[in-house]
Structure 1
Amino acid sequence: MRAFVTGATGWIGSAVVDELISAGHQVIGLARSERAEQVLVAKGVGVVRGDLDDLDSLRRGAARADAVIHMANKHDWSNPAESDRSERAAVRTLGDALAGTDRPFVVAAPLSGLVDGRPATEDDVSPAVGPDSNRGGSENLALDYVAQGVRTVITRFAPSVHGRGDWGFVNFLTAAARKQGLSGYVGDGSTAWSAVHRGDAARLVRLGTEQAPAGTRLHAVAEEAVTTRAIAEAIGDSLGLPVGSVAPQDAGAHFGFVGSFFASTMTASNDVTRKLLSWEPTGPSLLADIAAGAYTA
């Protein structure tokens, strides 16, 4: 199989590329810079130069591939509307390119915002519909292409896809602890996050690309719920800093943009995913990664 991967040099996307290669697949990666191109070429990856706003580059990549794995997102926290716009345009472009081919179209999605009061399941339909919704409603848009002969597979990622080198949410929490001299949690710290090790997430993407039926929603979740207080305590221990509560109204000032996420419960089950693909996470837990120094190097 030849797979076209957007976000091929990103945190999760680069691990997906490595996983595909190790399984004997060929990979074409989207590269928006000369440096990204050099990284991919060194791995033996074919390159399409472009980015999410260069829709012709997305069409070229999809035309050369047996499967498309869409991992890229602008993640512009200062201008989420722009991130949502580009995400929707990219998904529409890739979906149109794959229409009528029955080829896999694996689309990354978040777990946040799905349900309140309980862990999300793979059967839960995303409430984000239309261009003005979260991520431009890209999950539901991608699933619309099933009726047009595309094997769409949605992979929803835990809020912490962790490991050494992670520049995601836990990295920002660690930076905030250093800056403030306190590893904080919001309120009583009872809110919780799901988590998955980066290697386990990459393996799930590969299995989903190879095997998952059209219209499948997968949950890249190894640990269903890790309390935010436990995360703060692990960060505090790793940095040698005190741990304490931050009032909800002060979360933005203490943590920055990640404060609103840290104050929210974002959990999900993985029962359907495990059974469907015989996927068993084997990587270390989030707290073990923090304790091992993954965020203090």
Structure 2
Amino acid sequence: MKILLIGSSGYIGGAVSRSLDLAGHAVVPMLRPSSRDGGQRTGHEVRYGDLTDPNSLRVAVAAGIDGVVHVGAPLEDWSADASAVGAMLTALRPGGVFVYLSGTWVLGHSTVGALDESAPVAPARIVAGRHLVERAVLDSTRRGVVIRAGIVHGLGGGIPRMLVEWADADGRGRYVGDDSSPSWATVHVEDLAELVTLAVAGAGAGTVLHGVTEPSVSVKAIAQAADLAAGGTGDARRWPVMEASAELGADFAEALALTQNVVAPAARALGWRPFRPTIVDDLREGSYGR
């Protein structure tokens, strides 16, 4: 299949591009028009479009594209994101697949038990409105699929890299939370990329998949592992949400302090078999160490 990939140059997008390539798909990165004369060489056919310009997206999706995988960073306006996604869906050929990468933050706190793909949304403030973009994909007349990724780690990147940098700067790890340690649902970036590839090949229209390998990992344990990755002794302190908000912004701090327990039965039923290291092992012994 010829797949238009949005976000191909990013942390997650690079892994997705490699996975799609290995599966035999023809990856077509979508680049911003400003890069047209920048001498970028991707090794692929490219298309040009801007998420703030729906007409450019319609042009990019037309003519020979079999599917779209959208792992690009969201815009600051969720209604603009919905407009961008809607433009691509209308331009995509009938029967084409559209895979949209969302995140588990749309589920909010896990208050009672584990949240599977049927759980209702209760978005954290930082992603309030993202569920409307999900709904546009799921309700479309194309083969729309939503993947909600947990906190992504691996290859030395993602939010865990930020925790390592905090530990390096402070001399010990830290994590955002109040009375108790929050917990994150997590996934290795290469396992997530393989789930995206499986979804392109076989997920049905209107499918929600949770890209989660570890349902609930103590963020204190993650911060302690980040301290080890930074050369410390494995110490970590709690950073109250109010204090963290002054530096990080209230919405981001609140999201980092979420307690989540998220499971992925629909993804497993699709044949997903993740096998990469856990987030703590990755920090302690893998891609984040000095």
Indicate whether the TM-score tops 0.5.
Answer: yes
2:102 touches 2:134 (CA, 8 Å); kept in 1? Answer: yes
After superposition, the C-alpha distances for 1:172-230 in whole angstroms (9 at most, x for unaligned) are 22223333333123235531101111111001001001101111101111111111111
Contact 1:71 1:107 in 2 (8 A): yes
Aligned to 1:153: 145
User: What is residue 284 of structure 1 aligned with on the other side?
Assistant: 277
Other structure's SS at 1:284 match: coil
Q: Deviations over 1:90-124 (max 9, x none)?
A: 1111122137x021111111111325414321112
What's the CA shift string for 1:144-167, capped at 9, x where partnerless? 21xxx3111111111x2111241x
| Equivalent in 139, 144, 152 of residue 139 of structure 2 | 144
SS at match of 2:105: coil
What secondary structure is seen at the aligned counterpart in 2 of 1:113?
helix
Per the alignment, residue 27 of structure 2 pairs with: 27
What's the offset of the Cα at 1:51?
Answer: 2.1
Residues 1:9 and 2:4 aligned together:
no
- Whether 1:268 aligns to 2:262 is yes
Alpha-carbon shift at residue 256 of structure 1 (Å): 5.8
1:38-78 deviations in whole A, cap 9, x for unaligned?
66x44x32111232113233212221311111111246xxx
- Segments of structure 1 that go 5 or more residues without pairing to the other structure are 76-81
Q: Which moved more, 1:241-250 or 1:9-18?
A: 241-250
**In structure 1, what is the equivalent of residue 56 of structure 2?**
57
* Cross-structure match for 1:173: 163
The match for 1:164 is: 155
1:236 deviates by 1.4
Do the aligned partners of 1:191 and 1:227 also contact (CA within 8 Å) in 2? yes
Aligned ranges 1:60-75 → 2 under 5 Å: 60-63=59-62, 64-74=64-74
Which residue of 1 is the match for residue 90 of structure 2? 96
CA contact (8 A) 2:6 2:13 kept: yes
TM-score (norm 1): 0.85
Amino acid at match of 1:112: W
TM-score normalised according to structure 2 size: 0.86
Task: Find 2:207's aligned residue among 202, 211, 216.
Answer: 216
Q: Structure 2: any 5+ residue segments left out of the alignment? A: none
